Structure 1
Amino acid sequence: MNLLRKYDASPRLLRGAGAVTGDDRDQPGAMQSESDSEAAGRLKMLDDLRQMLRAPSASASGDTGKLVMHYQPQIVIETGEVAGLEARLLWQHPQHGIRRPEELVGDVKGSAIARLLTERAISALLLQLAEWSVSGVGLRTAIDVEMRDLQGDGFRELIGAGLKMFAVSAERLQLEVSEDAPVEDPLGAMMTVSALHSLGVAISLDNFGAGKSSLHRLRSLPLTEVKLDRSFIMGMSADADDAAIVRSVIELAHALDLRVVANGVEDERTMRLLHADGCDLAQGRFYAQPMTADALRGWLSQYQPVQPSGPAPERAASTGRLPSASRPGS
């Protein structure tokens, strides 16, 4: 079974590119707000992406470039050991350099282009996990998927077939869905997530705290972990209110028996604050930047666990955003 044939890559893909100037023209950020030159350049990039995706190999290069996967370690804060990875799909374009494909297809989410990107990313990741298994690397690896993928027909079968094809244990794969992504078919998404959970595939709620439906998602989906939005993590060292939000979310997640990952840890002070708050895992440039699979092997061979030491750092003073007289109950 060829995973890249799961979706029809021909007429639907062409419609996907057309959706930018058609069905999405009334949406904020669509191409009518761009200048003619910007729109032409964006359409050219979409065409390059479409041609690259139609190439027989995920690593095919040429005038349209190739897809590459970078990996960022996730670290157990308490011990410093490497617990897993996050995989990020990137497009290496010969003229425009490294691009995140979702930046380009944001206006055509749900199209054939977006679906093919998801499928290509999962296929490439499963192949890499299989190769790592041979060399003794058994880390769990997470990858972003669209909420629309979970609502679509055949996604559960796609994951199951891929795991079987590459002989990868389901426990090695984790899917991250954005907390603020819209859910058009809640029942369908719930059924797909439940089926994947039964397979052993973990589901993580990404960007937690950035959207408006966090608590509902926590209640309605069989999750394994939540990933705190980086905007809170990067601000908690200097902002007492961000720190209080982080601490409260960690307590809530643990009460629901969920693992907590802090995304965007850039310095030791933030790492030590998270440790004091009981956060489980962290990822960010304090530990390692995203890197290729080859670079990751070298990094793993040289990595020395970084553990928190000494008392927790002094916390920032409250910003007092609301005067006490204006706060509820005061």
Structure 2
Amino acid sequence: MGRVHLETLERLGTVEAHTVSARSQADYRRVLEDPAIGAVHICTPNTLHFPMARAALEAGKHVLCEKPLATSSEDARQLVALAAAKGLRNCTCHNLRYYPMVQHMRRMREDGDLGEVLVVQGTYSQDWLLYDTDWNWRIDSRDNGPSRVLADIGSHWCDMVEHVTGHPITALCADLQTFHPTRRRPKRSLETFAGKTLAAEDSIETTVDTEDFASVVFHLGARARGAFTASQVSAGCKNRLSLEIYGTRSAVAWNQERPDELWIGNRNTYNQLVIKDPSLLKPGARSYAELPGGHSEGYYDTFKQTFRRFYQSIEQPGSTPEYPQFADGLRQLIILEAELASHRQHGWAEVGSEL
């Protein structure tokens, strides 16, 4: 993930990447002592997010942190308060909301094209941890925190739903499953999504304490209902984030594996398949599409849109942030903790609204 951030900053062209701490410093606190550094990106294993972000804020640095913001809502709430007290810009990298067609969906809802939102459903499915020989640091709660699938990818889905619909998830019922109670942990490190498998002699059987799959039924806003699944063991699904929103006037459906396409469903006329073209997007969504029609914009572009807005807000101190802040990261941890509580209790859980 650090490489993605670095390459995106280079593409942005307005920010100088000064220090990549994992390569040039053994202690991140040394980096924070450098007065030439105005902002830091935190792209480490999840359990380091809170102490690093807290130290950066205390050092007077603006902070952009990968999600999850922390491994508990209590820690995330401390970061929200500290950033506010210091008057520093802060961002949780829920970048996937910045695909052009996702922004177009949001503007359709704001303009009333969908009518009242009734039903929301979808999935975030991957297959890179399908086998018990697949391993990554995210599997171990000591590095990742108490949840894997819901914290890693389910949080992206929930953030997108609340961002697009404008409604909060208010209550939910979650079921989690670990299909591989043990996995073969490698004696050497493996890259994420590397697709490499291990021979038996190269690994150690290790107990797994994070989930492979989750299904969640939820209430959205005052009246809407929804359901989604999150999986890292779904064969053939490389990175399938799909979102369907059904309203009283029309419906929309979007799939991250085909990001330039948006399906629009109608009751009394033909359905539509809209292909991304800035001239066809809602005015409020056009700034998220920088390439002309027929030229795809993808994963890296969502980071660029997030980073651009973050650094513009630093240059314009009085401006209103137009990107996911630490409060948004806290929000997703509140939802996550409700999901984990629901699973433990085998029943419904309320989702708190206080940030």
Give TM-score scaled by structure 2 length: 0.26
> Which structure shows the higher strand fraction?
2
More RCO (CA 8 Å, sep 6+) = 2
Give TM-score scaled by structure 1 length: 0.28
